[in-house]
Amino acid sequence: MKYLLCTFALISGHVWASETPPELWSWIKDLNKSKEACDIQSSYVLQAIKLENQQESAYGIYGNVKSNRVVVKCIEISKQHSKLLVAVAGNDKDSVELVRNHIVSAIN
């Protein structure tokens, strides 16, 4: 029984150690547009990349693009200036980077 428990502990530890955390890529961008204009453009860009399960809240626009989780947030700096925050998380580095870069370049 002791041998069985030790073997289970070793296998379990190996499985947990082999799981890699998801990639998280983010970006902050200054915009020469109002927060409202940023929000509207963000929504259009996310619809264009077929964001699934889109949800909007005070914390931003959330959703999924394939296996990636996306959040976009616009923050008011002044009436005509805002900051864009973009974060994308997923298990595939190339996919996460591609989605993040596309969103950032499309919102200007």
Give percent of the chain above pLDDT 90.
78
Judge whether 13 lies within some domain: no
Judge whether 3 lies within some domain: no
Judge whether 5 lies within some domain: no
The pLDDT score that the predictor gives to residue 21 is: 87
Judge whether 56 lies within some domain: yes
pTM of the model: 0.80
Domain count for the chain: 1
Phi, psi for residue 7 in degrees, rounded to 5: -60, -45
Which residues span the domain enclosing 39?
22-106
The pLDDT score that the predictor gives to residue 39 is: 96
SS3 string of the chain? CHHHHHHHHHHHHHHHHHCCCCEEEEEEEEECCCHHHHHHHHHHHHHHCCCEEEEEECCEEEEEECCEEEEEEEEEEECCEEEEEEEEEECCHHHHHHHHHHHHHHCC
Judge whether 34 lies within some domain: yes
The CATH number of whichever domain residue 69 belongs to comes to 3.30.310.50
pLDDT (tens digit, 9 = 90+) per residue, 38-71? Answer: 999 999 999 999 999 999 998 899 999 999 999 9
